[in-house]
Structure 1
Amino acid sequence: MGGAGDLHYQRQGSGEPLVLIHGIGSRHGVWRPVVEQLALEREVFAIDLPGFAESPALPSGTPSSVLTLTDAVEAWIRAMGLDRPHVAGNSLGGAIALELARRNAVRSAAALSPAGFWIAIENTYARFVLKTARSLGRRARPLAPTLAHSKLARGLLAGPFVAHPSRLDPDEALLDLAAFLDGPAFDETLDRTRKYYFANGHELRVPVTIAWGTRDYLLLPQQARRARRLLPDARHVSLRGCGHMPMGDDPKQVLDVLLSH
């Protein structure tokens, strides 16, 4: 574990650097199912975004949006002395990965169900699901230690985000829940996603991979078709049987995407 450039991170392995970026309300630990194998071939940095998990929020007066979070990650990359690392992100982290690619700040970018390829009604739906899940999570929090060890309860709480909740580790699920409920940047970041839409894919000059779970119930799979239109030169992959956060649903498919990228 470490901290530099005001971001908390986990570092493991050796080889070409690979930065992993989580989604909204999440934390670096969501990459746990794939980090060990990635670290056999890459020097892996799994970070906590500003205002989430163990990273402090952005400076007072700085809005928390896709672009300002991208600024923070880009500054962290410079502070760490990383020379155009590879980057991979999920959801909000996927949008940040693509924005870093737009800035030519990274060598390549892989985005798993990235935000920004929605239409307005899908954007509204995703924000509603996240707000509802957070409200339910807060009500259930006193029972969280018990619920985390119940496959049924994990399915109810995590169903919108993963296709196979029973595969979640109960202890990790508790840490994920704490990050989801406690992140001070959650509300503002979620609100500001209303105005974020990915555009101008021609500006991305580095290799890009877009991967989408076929059972993504948060950012629906039809958004993958828009990604194909907006990024026709990217590699596009369907993650069969995976949900919005595919790392735990099928680590092998995610590893194949990230290591063949």
Structure 2
Amino acid sequence: MTERAPIHVGTGEPILLLHPFMMSQNVWKKVVPLIAGMDPADPSAALDVADPSASLDVADPSARAAGRYEVYAPTMPGHNGGVKGHRFLDTAELADDMERRLDALGWDTAHIVGNSLGGWVAFELQRRGRARTLTGIAPAGGWSRYTPAKFEIVGKFLAGFPVWLFTLAFRQQVLKLPFTRYLAHFPISASPDRLSDDDLVDIIDDVTHCPAYYQLLVKSLLTPGLLELAEAQCPTHLVICEKDRVLPHPRFTRHFTQHLPESTTITHLDDVGHIPMFEAPQRVADLIVDFVDRYASPAREDPPREALGG
């Protein structure tokens, strides 16, 4: 597995984007330019990160007009393009790696956004004092050590083991099969037509280069989920994806809605699946920026809204 440079664009306050389980920084490539304020007409705004040599790093202010945010989207250990992890990964090790990356950038803190597993890691980083704000999009980890929900989600991924082995054996050849788009969309988007051909190429590439598939599943059986959520020390935004089949609402969101502080902003994002960046990049970018704008320095002149709309 070839290590890949993170997507790193823009100038301004730092935003860290963390991807879901089995995916990579690829999931953010449509969203990053929108957050960073890049001109869609600029060729560099079209990120192509499937090839490690094509990864885009234009954080240098001289590379483009100054924006509001500097956006950094790495791939976590054990995933496609990430560093090699230990034999059995856990969220603490993933958070350790992110802290090393933040330190290398000189970022004591950042606005942290995470989807699914990335949301779990985001909460771990918040607990360590590294988050200015936290946005969890369909975050995982909403369970305790013996909560049935934990064993249900592990069971879902274990049930997909034969499909993973089949995909691993045939790789991009599975794109020629008529049922591939349907199988791929089920854990990702609200409907099959929401995934483009390019999306499918990225998804298959990520799934077939993910040793974390079995590493994290084994370790998660032995460890608790997220604890001490009520002690969140930074502004927090919980995003619930209404057509999420992996962590469906309310069964997998109840832990968050019951234990996060009352000040938490909750957004219900309608008509999207578990990884909404593929099907609704503009909506995802808008909800991230609208929330972070409330707390970014200098503050906006207009008063913040009381709640974000889906």
Correspondence for 1:23: 20
Correspondence for 1:72: 97
Are residues 65 and 99 of structure 1, via their aligned partners in 2, closer, same or farther at CA, if it must alter by over 3 Å? same
Which residue, out of 225, 239, 244, partners 1:211?
A: 239
Deviating above 6 A after TM superposition, structure 1's stretches of 4 or more consecutive aligned residues are none
CA drift of 1:250 comes to: 2.0
CA RMSD of aligned residues (A): 2.2
- What's the secondary structure of 1:44's corresponding residue? strand
Correspondence for 2:64: none
Are residues 168 and 136 of structure 1, via their aligned partners in 2, closer, same or farther at CA, if it must alter by over 3 Å? same
Are residues 31 and 155 of structure 1, via their aligned partners in 2, closer, same or farther at CA, if it must alter by over 3 Å? same
Matched, 1:189 2:186: no
Matched, 1:247 2:277: yes
How many residues align structurally? 254
- What's the secondary structure of 2:123's corresponding residue? helix
Given that residues 66 and 196 in structure 1 are in contact (C-alpha distance below 8 angstroms), is that contact kept between their aligned partners in structure 2? no
- The worse-fitting range, judged by mean Cα deviation, of 146-155 and 38-47 is 146-155
- The worse-fitting range, judged by mean Cα deviation, of 19-28 and 162-171 is 162-171
CA drift of 1:150 comes to: 6.8
- The worse-fitting range, judged by mean Cα deviation, of 167-176 and 14-23 is 167-176
Structure 2: runs of 5 or more not aligned: 38-67, 292-310
CA drift of 1:38 comes to: 0.8
1:170-205 CA-to-partner distances (Å, cap 9, x unmatched) read 233223222223212221112222323212123211
CA drift of 1:141 comes to: 5.2
Correspondence for 1:227: 256
Are residues 168 and 229 of structure 1, via their aligned partners in 2, closer, same or farther at CA, if it must alter by over 3 Å? same
Structure 1: runs of 5 or more not aligned: none
Correspondence for 1:36: 33
- The 2-side partners of 1:83 and 1:197 are apart by 25
Which residue, out of 160, 168, 172, partners 2:195?
A: 168
CA drift of 1:164 comes to: 2.8
TM-score, normalising length from structure 1? 0.88
Query: Which has the larger helix fraction?
Result: 1
- What's the secondary structure of 1:107's corresponding residue? strand
Q: Percent identity?
A: 25
- The worse-fitting range, judged by mean Cα deviation, of 147-156 and 88-97 is 147-156
